[in-house]
Amino acid sequence: MKRICLFPGTFDPLTLGHTDIIERALPLFDKLVIGIGRNSNKKPMFSEKQRLKWIKEIYKGNPKVDAIAYDGLTVDCCRQVGARFILRGIRYVNDFEYEKAIADMNRSIEAEIETIFLTCLPQYTSVASTLVRDVLRNGGDVSQFLPEVVKRSIKTRK
């Protein structure tokens, strides 16, 4: 049985923190599906199409990586893509408490799906999409937090 994992998030924008987690998770799974969750409570800065494009461009040479957008429950998306694992990145202890509550809920809904937590490397601990968006909105330079593909498209957007 293939080890398929879903890495859900908004990826608005995709940061080096995200790519760090993705790169370190790849050896653990046969396939990694990056799932852009549609959240009606959030108004993204970057379009879904743009976020999917970044992911597909960064991982175009890697057949183990796919990217999709989904509505609804993450466990339902797991069922759709055949994933038995959910990947989550952890930066701080409070991330773990929040993510564990979600993992427990997911396990209650679907006992066959396991959540895997990876801690980010120390240099990415402060890299959060929310903070990156705040700096961007205020005209600051976020290039040190972004993959080259994302950096280029944000520069051409200005």
pLDDT band at residue 158, thresholds of 50, 70 and 90? low
- What are the tokens at 61? 């040479």
pTM of the model: 0.94
- What are the tokens at 3? 């080890």
Question: In this structure, which amino acid lies at residue 144?
Answer: Q
The pLDDT score that the predictor gives to residue 126 is 85
- What are the tokens at 67? 């990217």
Looking at the 3D structure of the chain, how many domains does it have?
1
**pLDDT digit string (tens) for 7-53?**
999 999 999 999 999 999 999 999 999 999 998 787 899 999 999 99
- What are the tokens at 16? 């080096």
Point out the residues that are catalytic: 18, 42, 91, 129
Return the CATH number at 94: 3.40.50.620
Which domain covers residue 102, as residue numbers? 4-157
The pLDDT score that the predictor gives to residue 78 is 98
**pLDDT digit string (tens) for 96-112?**
999 999 999 999 999 99
The pLDDT score that the predictor gives to residue 23 is 96
